[in-house]
Amino acid sequence: MRITTIIVAAAFVASAGSARAEDGPCNELREAGVIGDLRCEPADGGAVIGGGARASEYAQVFPRAFAAFAEYFAPSEQKVALVVQPEVSAELTAALAADGYKPLPWIDNETKAAMLRDNIVAQVEAQTASLPEAQRAAVVQQALAKAEGAAPAHADPEMEDGSIAHEIGHLLFNRYFDGPETESADRTARYGSSAPDWLDETAAVALENDAQTRSRYVAAREAYNADGTVLAFPLDTYLSMDHPLLQSAQALKTLERGSTGAVMLSGDEATAFLEASGGKPAAFYRQTRMFIDYLMETSGDPRILYAISQAYRDGSDLSGWLARSGGENGLPETLEALETEFEAWAKAKLADAAA
């Protein structure tokens, strides 16, 4: 019996506005009656809303993420509200948007474990309806034990913090590249900002912590050791492709769900979602991590991504930027030469680790 369960986040809403720095939106939200008795903790750059056991630790992710974005790109005026609930009510979403916040729904590890358990139990019970009760209970316990062994319900807190920083990176880059409005001028559905998806993803991956970075390299080394894979995508494909999760994220919008939030999909829904992704989201992330490190290490400039992003904002692309500025930044001047050098750099990194 195979059970597939994943958790995905819905789209976010934002608009311009202001809030008092000393308490973020907490006082206003409480006075407006849109957070009830939920805990609300101000953070540098935003706030954490919800009763999660790690709320204070989540708040510490904010200054690190905002500082990293300022180091790699530029200081951001975007404000973020991490809402530790599967869903953000329409009322809370509107109140946050009115004050310039983007809500970031988050399912903490405790809630995630409970949701996973409930979904597994529901799937197994539906698939074993014809069995006697005792046998059904035994199958449920086996399925729960197998799921726990494959993916422990209580994930590494460091990995969770890195994932939060990743999502904050998306929101900050969206604001930097497109301004405070989230829709592109042509209203085209996109994975993130109107920048190419590889560039959009660099801001998120660049903000990840050491635990996440190690996991990206572990995955890259496993692929290299398995079949010699260095780059999962040729550079021209990587630079022009849609994010591997774009199609499935668009499909998710057609599902009947509640307000802004995160959604757990199970069984056939989860399988269909992953199939719609077109294949290799994990490979896309690890190649992005290596590309970031190659660009920064080779150029010696931690803000090299900002320079490249500015070129895209001005209507150019990486090929044009390399022709104008690659040499002075210690990088090749053509995409072909860049791919050759990047692949050699990545292979050396992976081979050294495997030795």
Give per-residue pLDDT as tens, 243-262.
Answer: 888 755 555 554 444 455 55
Q: Which pLDDT band, with edges at 50, 70 and 90, does 17 fall under?
A: very low
C-alpha–C-alpha distance, residues 153 and 112, integer Å: 7
pLDDT at 5: 44
Q: What percent of the chain has pLDDT over 70?
A: 77
Q: Which pLDDT band, with edges at 50, 70 and 90, does 275 fall under?
A: low
How many CB atoms are located within 10 Å of the residue 190 CB? 21
Judge contact between 101 and 93, C-beta under 8 A: no
Task: Give the distance from CA 12 to its chain's centroid.
Answer: 13
C-beta pairs of 178-181 under 8 Å, 24+ apart in sequence: 180/14, 180/15, 180/16, 180/78, 180/100, 181/14, 181/15
Q: Which helix (H) or strand (E) holds 121?
A: helix 109-127
Q: What is the pLDDT of residues 141-156, one digit of tens each?
A: 877 677 666 555 456 8
Average pLDDT, the chain: 83
The pTM score is 0.81
Q: What is the pLDDT of residues 67-90, one digit of tens each?
A: 999 999 999 999 999 999 888 899
Q: How many CA atoms lie within 13 A of 342 on its CB side?
A: 27
